[in-house]
Each structure stands twice: as structure tokens, then as C-alpha cells.
Amino acid sequence: MTSNASRTVLVAIIALSLALFACADTRSKGESPAGAPDPAPAGLDRTAAISASSGESPSATGTANTQSPVPAQAAPSDQAARTARLTEDERNTIEVVQKTRNSVVYITNLQYVRDFFYSSDQPVPQGSGSGFVWDDGGHIVTNFHVIDEGDKFMVSLPDQRQVEASLVGRDPTKDIAVLKLNERVAGLDPVTIGTSRDLQVGQKVIAVGNPFGFDHTVTKGIVSALGRAMPGAGGVTIRDMIQTDASINPGNSGGPLLNSSGELIGMNTVIVSPSGASSGVGFAVPVDTVHKVVPQIIQFGKVIRPDLGGITFVRDEVARRARIEGAVILEVSRSSRAYDQGMRGVYRDNFGRLLIRDVITGIDAMKIKSWDDLFTALDGYKIGDTVTLTVLREDKTRRVTLQLVGTD
């Protein structure tokens, strides 16, 4: 009996201890430490919990606010982050490159060569260069020396496709030529035509081309000088060329020179380098000259220039050897207005010697020292204009008035 009673008391004590422990644990979970706000019940967002702690109702109905938390400001994308790290000049260059990426092409000049073993003509690459899209008609502008002596022309497009092109026309005196793609190609963007009239030394320029066959290569520099004169492929001087320090190498010829707005201001043409180095000082034909020549080539297949009509001239190097200053007349056509005005070319005397008669030393107010000077001067006139020539013969000067005619 005593044993059973003891056992009963022990069980009761254990049960009472467990009950007291459970009550203490429940109280510790249900109450916050003194002075601390109660945590938000399950289902309440942080805003609701703060409202509850300040004594405000979390909602107009008294129910818990179950809206999603207000998201933090979105982090910038990787592209935006990269752009933000660029300088203003870098961003501008990238914009110009992106604007013209579908405007620049690579040109391969092929010449047919007789194959000794197969007794047939095979196209062999004999030159290459760059070009740019002129219009939506598939016309491509490049340098004359890029396509010179070529029989077939392949144009590599920005998407790496190759399309054959035909020669529309050329102007060797300005080192300009125009090709036309033999098939319709979508996705090409004509360049935006700017002007070279208001260029300033020091302004930024961007050259795009395919030097050494590396397509769509971009270099940057400044306008180093203006009004330069360089020997052209046509035997006369190309005037008003743009000098730049932007890197130009073999293969850049015919590519566009752009300003910071992505406008065409010139066509990369000539490299002058010491000791035959592949890179050096670059020169570009000004866009105003390109814009004057290209539409004529597209329309007529050639350039129609103002000319004196019926007069041919002695080459300048021959005149220089003879120490004669001016444009030396070689021959005058009998059917020309110049012949009617008494102008004559060289002749042979009784001993068979060639003697010079008329030399043009001026046109209007301009002094003429060579045929090159006269050619450049005539370029500033229009067909139908009347000019007054200063003509020297045997140390005597006279004036001859002629109306300019068109010639290619």
C-alpha cells in the first residue's frame, strides 16, 4: 500500500513539473521582451508590421495588408552598365560605327589570266580595297585605283556574302569609280552625305575600311590639315584633299572618312609613308568632290566636264624639261572655235625641229603655270560659261575669248 502511494505521488510530481515547463515555454514564445515591438504575425508584410507596432491599422478594413513588398529600384543591365563606364567620346565613336556597319563593303579586283595547263582564262585577284553604299540602287563608290585593270569585281557585304558587281564608270583624274551590284540586296544602308566645305583642322574623324583584308576595321583621328594637293591616278593633281592622322593602310582605299555625326566627309585614298612603310599620313578625297562626280557617273557612265574644245596639250613633265611655264598647246582641231580664234599648237620647222607656238598662261583672273593648273581651274566652271584666256606666243601676249563645251 505504501509502495503504491509513493509511486502515485512520484507520478503526480513528474506530471506537475511537465505542466509547469510547458506553461513557461508557451509564455516565452507568445511574449516579446520588454520594450520591444511584437514581431509581425505570419502573413503580414514588413509595412503592416511597422504599422501595427505604431498602433495604426494596417488596412482600412482592419485586416492584414497582404500586398507584395515595394520592389527596390531595378539594377541596370549589363549593357547599360558597360555604356555608363564609357566616355562621351567613346560612346560617340560606337554610335558612328553602329550607324555605318551596313554601309561599308570589301571589294576584290579580279583579272582574267590564261591558265597554261588548261588553256583557259582564270580569274586571279590582283587588288582589293574598300567601298561604301551610295544609294538604294546598289551603287558602290570606291577609288579608281582599286578597280583599275580589273575584269571582274566581287563585293563582300557586311554579312559576309559575296555579290558580283559591274563597273558603271570611273574618273581617274579624281581617283573615283562607281560599281553596281548585279543583284538586289536588302539590308544595306547608304551613307549619309555630309560636306567638306566647313571642315576644321583638329576635328574628330573616323575611318572605316578593310585594311589587309580585315573587314570593317575602325580607326579614329583628327583632321590634320586641309587643302592638300596629291598626285592622282589620272596623271593630274587631286586638290583640296583632307589630311588625317587616322590610321589608313592598304585595303582602306575607297572606304569612308566620317565625322562625329556619322556623315561622309571624304573617301580614304592615299597613304604617304617613309621608307615604303604600310602606314603613314593618310589623305582623303573631299566629299564635295565625290558628290560632284558620282551622280554624273551614275547618270552618264562618265564625267562630263567643261572644256575649251578641240585643244590638246603637251604633258607637264615635257613642258618642265623645256623650262616653259604654262599649259603648252599640242594641237588645235580645225573645226574648233579655238582654231577660228587663231590658236595653234606645236609645229615642225624646215629642219624638222618641233617648235612651240601658243602657251596658255591665264584664265580670267587666274594664273596658269601648267596643264594641271588649267584642268583644275576649268573644274570650277560650268558648260556654257565664257572664259578669257591669256595666250603667250613668241613673248607676245593676247586675249582669246571662248565658250566652254562639254567633254569627257
Ordered alpha helix ranges (H), 212-283 = none
The verdict on whether 77 is a catalytic residue reads: no
Catalytic hit among 171, 175, 316, 372? 175
The verdict on whether 175 is a catalytic residue reads: yes
Pull the grid cell for residue 178: 562607281
145 vs 109: CA distance, rounded Å: 10
The closest of 297, 151, 305, 168 to 236, measured between CA atoms, is 305
**Does residue 164 contact residue 155 with C-beta atoms inside 8 Å?**
yes
The verdict on whether 333 is a catalytic residue reads: no
Q: Residue 100 CA to chain centroid, in angstroms? A: 6
**Does residue 200 contact residue 241 with C-beta atoms inside 8 Å?**
no
Q: How many CA atoms lie within 13 A of 167 on its CB side?
A: 20
**Does residue 329 contact residue 346 with C-beta atoms inside 8 Å?**
yes
Within 8 A by CB and 6+ apart from 390, the residues are 360, 361, 362, 363, 368, 397, 398, 399
Burial class (CB within 10 angstroms; exposed 0-12, middle 13-18, buried 19+) of 8: exposed
- Grid cell 587631286 is found at 238
Catalytic hit among 103, 128, 156, 253? 253
Query: Torsion-angle region of residue 61: left (phi > 0), alpha (psi -120 to 50) or beta?
Result: alpha
Catalytic hit among 103, 139, 145, 358? 145
- DSSP assignment string, 123-188: EEEEEEEEEEE-STT-EEEE-HHHHTT-SEEEEE-TTS-EEEEEEEEEEGGGTEEEEEESS--SS-
Q: Are strands 176-181 and 217-231 parallel, antiparallel or unpaired?
A: unpaired
The closest of 101, 233, 77, 87 to 160, measured between CA atoms, is 101
What amino acid positions are annotated as catalytic residues?
145, 175, 253
